[in-house]
Chains A and B, each alone.
Chain A
Amino acid sequence: MSEKPVKWPWPLEWGQTETVETDVLVLGGGAAGCFAALGAASRGASVALVEKGATVSSGAAGSGCDHWESAASNPCSRISPEELAETMIRAFSRYNNGISHYIECREGYDRLIELEKLGAKVRDTEDEFAGADFRDEATKLLFAYDYHNRTTIRVWGTTFKPALARGCRRAGVRVFDRVMATGLLTEGGRIGGRIAGATGVHGRTGKFLVFKARAVVICTSRPTRLWLFEPELPGISEFRPFPCSGDGHAMAWRAGAEFTMMEKSVKGEWSGLRSFPPYSTGNNHNTWYACDMVDADGRKLPYVDRDGKEIADFAGRFRPAPGQRLYLKGGNEPNGAVYEVQGADTLPVDELLKRGYRLPFFADLTSLPETERKVIWGMMVGEEGKTKIPILRAYSEAGFDPARDLIQSYGDGWKSGAFLPQERQLFGLPGGLFNDWNLMTSVEGLFAAGDALFASNCFGHAAATGHYAGRHAAAYAAGRDPVPPDEPQIRRERRRVYAPVGRGRGPGWRELNTTVARIMQNYCGAFKSGPLLDAGLRMLADFRERDAARVTAANPHELVRTLEVLSIMTNAELVMESCRARKASSRELEFVRLDHPEMDPPEWNRFVTVKLGREGLETGSAALDYYGPLAEGYEKHNPADKQKGGER
């Protein structure tokens, strides 16, 4: 392979500017972004979509998605959207986004049907799983986890993004692939001013883009690479896709939008060289639920219900425990499910070792009923993101036979590596943009969907909130004259964007990202304190001035990577400010303040919010039920959208 410089393979347009006008501008072309574009277009708005990678494959679900959660309005569900959303809120001690998850529960299934109409596969049309416990014979839908209550649907997610990209094209959405959104434009260029559009830079040509828009929807996932960075293999630093660097968070923060729960982080579960690719090792969670597990001597590990009672029959793993209404997901995850919704799981590792079981453990697909084996290995492993080629095809080519072979497990739960307490990530319903019932942020005209929202997760949530935010953005845009963009703000952003290009020698983006991760591990690790966070923020400011101000980029692609790390630095500041603002520890938020050790004192059982105001940082708070009764709130803000649901 060549190590000589090669000619840049794309035409260069450094310094050229393209201006685009649109009613609704969607930033990010993953599941949420594509649905936001479709939602806005369905209301007659002109729509432009900006995607850093390729809409056909971008986003966390770009390469697949194996199950669709919270489809409470599917015809087989035994749980109403209201009950499911309330249960999800309680399952996270109310540190959850009641609005977005209610939208997910209420509209998620409609979005799945919309995907099917766009050509995606959502049911077992070939009768491959006829007669299986998890299949509804009338609708041919397949369910996962709780087979009794049937709110989670197994899906063929490798078909989703191509269908969505096609759908966007058909709906007349103007798609700008390979363009990184860099900053928001606001009225008069002011922090907190009404939204006027956004800027971008093309990652192949270097062209600068100005988008004038009446409304903007942020669908750029959540920050990554804050604590975890793998300089040798940056592409697999985190579970979420490498290009998901939290650019939307950073630009919204700079524009004065309000965030909440950004103090929450969890110990790393998956990263680069520390663990195996997700779903590629033996386990019995998530995609692999509820696989048989055996110990080193081939002894089957017992499954128990939430009361520790052994479950004798295989089908019992997929039923709520006696006296239990429903369970969410399977197993005791993420990070310890609350009793109310805890599903069946194998005994904890400590307990197994006490009882004489020997490590290592293996997943044993061989002993499962045939339909269960085929649905885990072949459908779920195959349709889930990052499994079709790297696992299903590669393992099959290497001779793995699920009917005859075991695979070793390298960690508990679905994890396949061990992490230090300061190696953290935003995972398991982390913080994000604070939203109202229109999914609008605190900046007028700026909406958010998917993982950009606080306490968000999963494809169904991204799809439902995306479409909803798109519709509301279109309604907002329809009633207003555009805000003229502020020319000095555009010039400032253009200078900021191109600054790394013209410089001589200086650090590269990897050195920057490595340093941010070191600062976060040292000053914002598992144990926080006011003085430590102050030092971290000062260290970050010093680093910004001395090193980041000299960062260089030699081509448009490197420029995008560099701007990403500048986003990451801004997000590090956002996280540290959020940690400083909550002066109490919290179990649910996995947040330990050494200087405020009391766990969850009642006066702090609130959402703490942070934003940049014109005078600097502004902190605030909101009640954990600030959104009010769910169905009532939804209907008040969506008078025209009577839930159809239940479509077969």
Chain B
Amino acid sequence: MKKTARVTPPAPAFFPVVINPEVCNGCNRCVEACQCDVFGPNPEPGKPPLVLFPAECWQEGSCVDACPRAGAMRWVRPPHQRVRCRRKSTGEDYFI
């Protein structure tokens, strides 16, 4: 039986979660909330979680919802999901 395990985290592409390491205190509630197990705890206590499997994110926001510290974790919509909105009174378009 194998005694080791290794993982090489890829650079997150289209990953909608941004962590602010200045605010995050490494409580790991997001790690436990994620049903896809995208994160792992940082080996250094108090530091932001590791993003190990970003492509497997179901993009439902449980991690951000579980985060108790304002500004520690933010949802940033991947650019391909931008939609067109229109201010009705002016007819002016904008994209979010």
Task: Show the binding face of A for B, using Cβ within 8 Å.
Answer: 1-10, 12, 14-15, 52-54, 56-59, 62-63, 158, 178, 203-204, 206, 232-236, 241-243, 273, 276-277, 280-282, 298, 362, 364, 366, 385-386, 388-390, 393-395, 398-400, 404-408, 410, 498, 501-502, 554-558, 561
Contact = CB atoms under 8 A, between A and B. Distances in A.
Given A385-B60, A498-B1, 4 more contacts: A10-B40, A280-B83, A394-B76, A405-B87
Interface string B3-14: 111111111111
A365 B60 CA distance: 24
Interface string B50-82: 111101111111101110000000011100110
Interface of B: 1-14, 16, 32-38, 40-43, 50-53, 55-62, 64-66, 75-77, 80-81, 83-89, 94, 96
B10 A406 contact: no
A282 B50 CA distance: 35
Q: Which of A235, A298, A404 gathers most chain B CB within 10 Å?
A: A235
A474 to B, nearest CB: 27
A203 B7 CA distance: 13
A407 B83 contact: yes
B8 A8 contact: no
Nearest to A510: B55
Contact of B75 (A57, A203, A390): A390
B58 A556 contact: no
Contact of B9 (A1, A12, A554): A1
A498 B1 CA distance: 9
A277 B60 CA distance: 9
A203 B37 contact: yes
A232 B14 CA distance: 9
A557 B14 contact: no
Given A15-B1, A273-B80, A54 B34 contact: yes
B59 A390 contact: yes
A1 B37 contact: no
A393 B75 contact: yes
B50 A6 contact: yes
A179 to B, nearest CB: 11
B60 A232 contact: no
B12 A276 contact: no
B96 A404 contact: no
Interface of B is mostly: loop
Nearest to A410: B83
A389 B34 contact: no
B8 A54 contact: no
A38 B47 CA distance: 37
B8 A58 contact: no
13 contacts: A4-B8, A9-B52, A57-B33, A178-B37, A232-B13, A233-B55, A243-B36, A273-B80, A385-B60, A390-B16, A390-B59, A390-B60, A404-B87
Contacts of A235: 36, 38, 55-59
Nearest to B14: A233
Contacts of B85: 400, 405-408
A62 B62 contact: yes
Contacts of A9: 40-43, 50, 52
B1 A236 contact: no
Contact of A14 (B1, B10, B16, B42): B1
Contact of B56 (A234, A298, A556): A234
B80 A62 contact: no
A408 B83 contact: yes
B62 A63 contact: yes
Contacts of A405: 85-88
Contacts of B41: 9-10
B6 A554 contact: yes
Given A54-B34, A235-B59, A398 B1 contact: no
Contacts of A234: 55-56
A395 B96 contact: yes
B9 A276 contact: no
B91 to A, nearest CB: 8
Contacts of A400: 85, 96
Q: Which 7 A-B pairs have the closest CB atoms?
A: A389-B61, A53-B35, A15-B1, A9-B40, A555-B5, A398-B96, A63-B60
Contacts of A362: 86
Contacts of B84: 407-408
B83 A281 contact: yes
B27 to A, nearest CB: 15
Contacts of B35: 52-54, 57-59, 62, 241, 243
Contacts of A298: 88
B37 to A, nearest CB: 6
Contact of B6 (A8, A14, A233, A282): A8
Contact of B65 (A15, A232, A389, A406): A389
A204 B37 contact: yes
Given A10-B40, A232-B13, A406-B86, A555 B6 contact: yes
Contacts of B6: 5, 8, 554-555
B81 to A, nearest CB: 6
Contacts of A498: 1
Contact of A54 (B3, B4, B33, B57): B33
B56 A2 contact: no
B7 A554 contact: yes
A216 B84 CA distance: 48
B85 to A, nearest CB: 5
Nearest to B33: A57
A5 B11 CA distance: 12
A366 B89 CA distance: 10
A281 B77 CA distance: 13
A357 B85 CA distance: 19
B72 to A, nearest CB: 14
A565 to B, nearest CB: 13
A158 B33 CA distance: 13
Contacts of A390: 16, 59-61, 75, 77
Contacts of B14: 232-233
A63 B65 contact: yes
B2 A394 contact: no
